[in-house]
Amino acid sequence: MSQGESAVTEPQVSAADQAQAGSARPEAAGPVPDDAGADEFAAAGDEAGDDAEDGAGEPGFDAEPGAAAPGLTDVADLELEGEIAADYIEGLLDVADLDGDIDMDVEGDRAVVSVVGATLDELVGPRGEVLEALQELTRLAVHRHTGNRTRIMIDVGGYRQRRRTELAETGRDAAAEVKRTGMPKKLWAMNPFERKIVHDAVASAGLRSESEGEEPDRRVVVLPGD
């Protein structure tokens, strides 16, 4: 794998150790300023305004993009984010001795870095939990180098697109049930990426939905029509 001249220092810990830690911070990225902690990155990325009632932006590969992260004004900025993220992830793959090819793209107002390969299931984890941790670590690494909060999206093995298809079907099925019964339907706890997809599917079916609860137990409730 080659992404040209590396924009970040190769990390000194394994991908599995970092990703499984969830809230761990990447050693390669060094100290992160106080205002760039996990909570802020969650609010700045797909967790910010993810739900329909909040005027959601694009939390994955959605058609309607949200507001660009502060300081990012053109494609060149987003491409730079992608290059930094790709170098960081490439270093993680090398340390963990995992094979994978890295693709970079710009979707709407965010950079997207995709890792494809045959031995990457461990980088996704149950319900994408390891992937979410990997994305947070990568966002922290990008922030350290650019000084800007980032909404970069990381995908592994096409997981997010497959999950989007499944969740859209869940939203349509829930909407059909609510139309039939006239009763609200509460779904299981989901992360912001998942909730936004369900909200969009419910809206396309002509019903309203809202989110209730606190993370990590926040969930979508599908409401009957007036």
Predicted pLDDT at 211: 97
Answer yes or no: is 151 within a domain: yes
129 and 67 share one domain: yes
25 and 101 share one domain: yes
172 and 138 share one domain: no
Predicted pLDDT at 74: 84
111 and 184 share one domain: no
152 and 190 share one domain: no
77 and 170 share one domain: no
For 88-126, the pLDDT digits (tens) are: 999 999 998 888 899 999 988 899 999 988 668 888 988
150 and 189 share one domain: no
119 and 217 share one domain: no
Answer yes or no: is 10 within a domain: no
131 and 189 share one domain: no
Q: CATH number for the domain including 191?
A: 3.30.1370.50
Give the residues across from 211 on adjacent strands. 220
Boundary (domain end) residue, out of 117, 132, 157: 157
Answer yes or no: is 129 within a domain: yes
What is the secondary structure of the chain as a DSSP string?
---SS-SSPPPSS-HHHHHHHSS---TTT----GGGSHHHHHHHTTTTT-SGGGT---SSS-SS--PPPTT--SHHHHHHHHHHHHHHHHHHHHHHT---EEEEEEETTEEEEEEE-SS-GGGT-GGGHHHHHHHHHHHHHHHHHHSS----EEEETTHHHHHHHHHHHHHHHHHHHHHHH-S-EEEEE--HHHHHHHHHHHHHTT-EEEEES-TTS-EEEEE---
Q: How confident is the model at residue 184 (pLDDT cuts 50, 70, 90)?
A: very high
128 and 169 share one domain: no
Q: Number of structural domains, the chain? A: 2
Give 55's Cβ-side CA count (13 Å radius): 2
Answer yes or no: is 171 within a domain: yes
Averaged confidence pLDDT in the chain: 75
Least confident of 60-74, 120-134, 177-191, 204-218: 60-74
Boundary (domain end) residue, out of 157, 179, 199: 157
Answer yes or no: is 102 within a domain: yes
Q: Which domain holds residue 194?
A: 161-223
Q: What are the structure tokens assigned to 209, written together?
A: 């939905």
What letters, b where the CB count within 10 A reaches 16 and e where it falls short, cover 194-206?
bbbbbbbbbeebe
Q: How confident is the model at residue 147 (pLDDT cuts 50, 70, 90)?
A: very high
- Nearest alpha-carbon partner for 52 in 42, 66, 40, 41: 66
19 and 117 share one domain: yes
For 8-41, the pLDDT digits (tens) are: 333 444 444 444 444 333 333 333 333 333 333 3
Predicted pLDDT at 120: 82
Answer yes or no: is 170 within a domain: yes
Answer yes or no: is 148 within a domain: yes
Boundary (domain end) residue, out of 110, 125, 157: 157
Q: State phi, psi for 14 to the nearest 5 degrees.
A: -75, 160
Answer yes or no: is 8 within a domain: no
Give the span between the Cα atoms of 137 and 96, in whole angstroms: 15
Q: How confident is the model at residue 186 (pLDDT cuts 50, 70, 90)?
A: very high
Q: CATH number for the domain including 89?
A: 3.30.300.20
73 and 99 share one domain: yes
